[in-house]
Structure 1
Amino acid sequence: MRAHEAGALHAEGYGGPAWLPVPHDVNALLPGLWSAGVRRSDGGSLVVAGVDVHELAERFGTPAYVVDEEDLRARARAFRAAFTEAFAEPAGGADVYYAGKAFLCTAIARWVAEEGLHLDASTGGELAVALRAGVPPQRIGLHGNNKSDEEIETALRAGIGRLVLDSAEEVGRVADAADRLGLTRPVPVLVRVTVGVEAHTHSYIATAHEDQKFGVPMDDAPAVVADALARPQLELRGLHSHIGSQIFDTAGFEVAAQRVLRLHADIARRHGVELPELDLGGGFGIRYTSQHDPQPVEEIAAGMARVVLAECRALGVAVPRVSVEPGRAIAGPSTFTLYRVGTVKDLELDGGLRRRYVAVDGGMSDNVRTALYDADYSCSLASRASTAPPVLSRVVGKHCESGDIVVKDEYLPGDVRRGDLLAVPATGAYSRSLASQYNHVPRPPVVAVRDGEARVIVRRETIEDILALDVAG
């Protein structure tokens, strides 16, 4: 059943979700939600990497995505180190592909490449950003369930490190593209298989159960693999599995790894070749609110290594070179969105309770996840500390939709007023990348902060930008 379009829980006596306690200190920043560089100043305002939010709002305006560069780099390094160490003995390490779909611009692409990561693109546009940023082509992979001929040919011309085949017909299409381009070396490819594991996540972001658009069903995979192996234009490097996004239960990864490795071993028996690579995808969850409890990356990597090693031993095959694709887990916690408060309204709810609606100068055009996935977020008063008691509040946007909600439920100080700054943490993934111009609202800038300095890495759109696309009839 779909949620009410406004996301409201109208049951009598509703006083917020069970996981949201009344805070003892409404000014406290919940641990795990914010980047490592965020703190409160002596005056009570938020400071990120040495820069106060008042300065950010004055220089760059609101709303704005504010990314803590060193925090993002540190998360990239942590993934690389954890998976390299976990898979060092069985496979000589592992490869980490940053999932560009979470958020990508040339600066981010450069950062993750400088930290030793590979980059996964899912469209020609993301591929273009990676190439423009100078990411070595051999460290780029291309996904996509419906790649165009142009996207395939662009990837092959660039000499990317791998292309993930998503359907039976794509085998022939990529081989034909290689012929058209006159390539003298085979194209490295992986086959994405649908392993039949339904991740414990929202149905729209669970991607490995059978009834969805991604990948090749397990029953069809042997024929697709045989076709790829028979094509001299292709070099089949391995199999790929991805079970979804925002996942906290690692049991799904374990079952998926077991199933795809059995297929891997079956290929070795049938064709006499052990494929050298295995991609187990991404989807590692992050903390958006106090209800979320993600595992440390070291535990994730060690757990996946144990499963892969044990299964390979049982099947009698060598451990392939494993790769994973974190996106949200790197970009998400590194960024918050800074808004300015406009209107504040108090409404009576059933049971004599009240709810405060706090409207900000952005909304679903800069973060559609609440409306799209019924996602939960937290937020804090950013421009000052407050001694007022906490009030159950709903942060909403400026768009002409009742579902235009940024934060469904949060306790904010009772004296929040027009002109205050609010910050919503963990918005680095799938906020800017899913942003729109709904109601002709220009998209916010992305501001990077490091060592007391702030700079724009994606500029704010303007009304002129929007009008420039409008061709007069």
Structure 2
Amino acid sequence: MASHASPGSFTGTSPVWLREPEDVNALVPVLWSRTAEKVDGVLRIGGLSVADLVANVNTPAYVLDEDDFRSRARAFRDGFEGYDVYYAGKAFLSTAVARWVAEEGLCLDVCSDGELTVALRAGVDPARIGYHGNNKSAMELRRAVHAGVGRIIVDSYAEIERLADVAAQLGVVQPVMVRVTAGVEAHTHEFIATAHEDQKFGFSISAGAGFEAARRVVGASSLELRGLHSHIGSQIFDTSGWEVAARRVLGLHAKVAAELGHPMPELDLGGGFGIAYTTQDDPATPADLAAQITRIVAGECAALGIDVPHLSIEPGRAIVGPAMCTVYTVGTVKEVSLDGGAARTYVSVDGGMSDNIRPALYDADYSCTLASRSSAATPVLARVVGKHCESGDIVVKDEFLPGDIGPGDLIAVPGTGAYGRSMASNYNHALRPPVVAVKDGSARVIVRRETVDDLLATDVG
């Protein structure tokens, strides 16, 4: 709960954006799902107390606000009217979520056979599925083509040849998009910036590889080139990167039409829109993003003298990320003395990097709040850490929590819907947590907690 307070009310060893809260019990709305509220200090989501929720499933547990998820899906669908909006299955996917995506009129992006399996199991129309990935096997491609996937985003010359052979064997013409890199450095972590040249995704526009890939697809009778796909990264807050990327991608779009005689009807500019993990983040609304990106594309098309293609975007974490929080139980609390007479309170919880690897992987910041009671204690600067055997097992690097935080208290971390459960692991043989969906005062487990039997099922020794 990185909160609002007067500048300079606390400095110590906290980051400059973090201020001591005026009310340590209050929520900062932008960080939480739409139904989250505090009642007598107890966090409630979807009309239910998180204390009651975890009493049935134990902690750690992911709590997914269905109303929030659906409202964000609709906001992108309506804000980007006329676009195809692709939900990122890699952020978090389950059968229930895939159905919500379809019911709200969105398309679905998958990048593995497992994600495709979940989508098909949920009854998602294959024609509304896009298949990503930089190293798809012949088996994976065959299954996708046989299922009738609406578009496959090709990422290498080898894949173009492989996919052409698979489609020819199955006697179909497979719609394809060519993923290109525009050389744009998104203002994000190096590992989630995906449009600079020195990385594994796509064909370079500047080196001519993008045009050559398009030429090869056009020359394959079993493939149909629908358009180009560009994705500049994740957790992005402004549209300046898209302005540069659109200019370069649309330049290639026009070149393919002029020199190969193949006008492409579609263009996907990716997305990766940012969410608020802490008060230093200020995400734009889908409607504002749509207006800016539409203006950028229209201007570039006008300058090139070409028609505006049918557009697709991929919001990434922006739909499911804010819709979920993770609830933990505090196990131990200790104070550690720091240089200059400062101190930090270490709060250890019963999860950690096995249920949210992002702080360790990307140095990601998160917020949190005491979720099970109200407190009148003075706020203390705390670091919430996990139970795993790693010094980098940090859940929340810096946050103010009540000074009387103690064993048995519940802590909730907002913004964990994207890449928490989907990147969860069995490190230290931890059991991956359940996902509990809440709506209108009712709750249901949509992904159950792993059991010891699950853990041992693959151990054949």
Query: Given the two structures, how large is their TM-score scaled by the length of structure 1?
Result: 0.94
Amino acid at match of 1:209: H
Equivalent residue, structure 2, for 1:21: 19
Of the three residues 161, 169, 184, the one matched with 2:150 is 161
Aligned Cα RMSD in Å? 0.9
Q: Deviations over 1:247-296 (max 9, x none)?
A: 11210011111110011011111122320000011210000001111111
Separation (CA, whole Å) in 1 of partners of 2:152 and 2:72: 26
1:9-408 alignment runs, 5 A limit: 14-41=12-39, 43-84=40-81, 93-181=82-170, 183=171, 185-218=172-205, 219-408=208-397
- Distance in 2 separating the partners of 1:240 and 1:133: 26
Do 1:14 and 1:350's aligned partners in 2 also have CA atoms closer than 8 Å?
A: no
Partners of 1:274 and 1:317 within 8 A in 2: no
TM-score for the superposition, normalised by structure 2: 0.96
Residues in 2 aligned to 1:246 and 1:459: alpha-carbon distance in whole angstroms = 29
Return the offset for 1:313.
Answer: 1.1
| Structure 1 counterpart of 2:7 | none
Distance 1:164 1:405 in 2: 36
Residues 168, 216 of structure 1: 8 Å contact kept: no
List per-residue Cα deviations over 1:423-450 (Å, max 9, x = no partner).
0000000100110000001000000000
- 1:14 deviates by 4.7
Give the letter aligned to residue 45 of structure 2: V
Provide the C-alpha distance between the structure 2 equivalents of 1:388 and 1:296, rounded to a whole number of angstroms.
Answer: 36
**Match of 1:330, SS?**
coil
Q: Distance in 2 between matches of 1:190 and 1:126?
A: 19
> Matched residues, percent identical?
63
Q: What amino acid is the match of 1:286?
A: I
Residue deviations 1:212-251 (CA, integer Å, cap 9, x gap): 0000111211111111111110010000000011011210
The answer to whether the Cα contact below 8 Å between 1:171 and 1:227 also exists between their aligned partners in 2 is yes
Structure 1 residue runs of 4+, over 2 Å off? none
Q: Which runs of 5+ in 2 are unaligned?
A: 1-10
Q: Is the 8 A contact 1:344 1:418 kept in 2?
A: yes
Q: State the Cα deviation string for residues 147-170 of structure 1 (Å, max 9, x = none).
A: 011110000000010000101221
CA contact (8 A) 2:176 2:224 kept: yes
Whichever residue aligns with residue 274 of structure 2, its letter is: G
Distance across 1 between alignment mates of 2:128 and 2:70: 17
1:396 deviation in Å? Answer: 0.3
Greater Cα offset, 425-434 or 172-181: 172-181
Q: 1:53 offset after TM fit, Å?
A: 1.0
SS at match of 2:344: strand
1:253 & 1:165 partners in 2: Cα distance? 21
1:323 is displaced (CA, Å) by 0.2
Q: Within 1, Cα distance between the matches of 2:60 and 2:354?
A: 11
